[in-house]
Amino acid sequence: EAGVAQSPRYKIIEKRQSVAFWCNPISGHATLYWYQQILGQGPKLLIQFQNNGVVDDSQLPKDRFSAERLKGVDSTLKIQPAKLEDSAVYLCASSRSGQGNSPLHFGNGTRLTVT
Amino acid sequence: GESVGLHLPTLSVQEGDNSIINCAYSNSASDYFIWYKQESGKGPQFIIDIRSNMDKRQGQRVTVLLNKTVKHLSLQIAATQPGDSAVYFCAERTNAGKSTFGDGTTLTVKP
């Protein structure tokens, strides 16, 4: 099966600019996640969708980050305005269901550099 | 609060030796414990998981051990190969699907 697709692979922006990332999950996967991975650390959950509804966005900095999954398939994550500390890899993952026994499948991420 | 940590940030082994990567966790309510492998420039890749009611599970060349008494998880890789060089993360996951990742151990395999 095709894996999780993410674009772009790399993005460099100046602080206070905006940026958007796109994710296409594995076909048939109901649950979609966005993670932030700062260099040298493990991924940190930003938001979890079940179909097109938000299940968990408790760690999403809502003053600058937003995400949507309008048709329950593709998703976009936006940052506006970006800060230096947003430099990280943004990983999208999907799973067949949101239950614990359904493993996560990750994309290769978007590496964001904010200067 | 929840936290998942690894004992050592780096591990270097000789090709052909066995590797043991350790992880300590703090959330007794987690239902699954998972090991991921992350190669440079790629996303984490699922290796193996274990349910909280088990203490050992084996896969191909890998074994995960769970000690709930001391809240300790380990990943054993048999006959380590150069292709095993990567960052390894442990994660804990609830039945509701909430995952928490540790900070990773970088495994280097010397030829």
Name which of A66-70, B43-47, B92-96 the model is least confident about: B92-96
Cα dihedral across residues A86, B41, B89, B27: positive or negative: positive
Q: Would you call A16 helix, strand, or coil by DSSP?
A: coil
The minimal CB distance from B104 to the residues A42, A56, A93 is found for: A42
B6, pLDDT greater than 70: no
Q: What is the mean pLDDT of residues B15-32?
A: 92
The minimal CB distance from B46 to the residues A44, A56, A104 is found for: A104
Closest CA to B99 of A42, A23, A78, A111: A42
pLDDT attached to residue B56: 98
Q: What is the mean pLDDT of residues B80-104?
A: 92
Contact A103 B34 (CB under 8 A): yes
pLDDT attached to residue B95: 86
Q: What is the mean pLDDT of residues B51-66?
A: 96
Q: A2 CA to chain B: closest CA distance, Å?
A: 14
Contact A104 B99 (CB under 8 A): yes
Contact A41 B104 (CB under 8 A): yes
Q: What is the mean pLDDT of residues A77-87?
A: 98
Contact B95 A44 (CB under 8 A): no
Chain B, 8 to 47: residues with Cβ < 8 Å from chain A are 31-32, 34, 41-46
Q: Please name every residue paired with A88 in a beta bridge, in sequence order, or none if there are none.
A: A112
Contact B43 A107 (CB under 8 A): yes
pLDDT attached to residue B1: 39
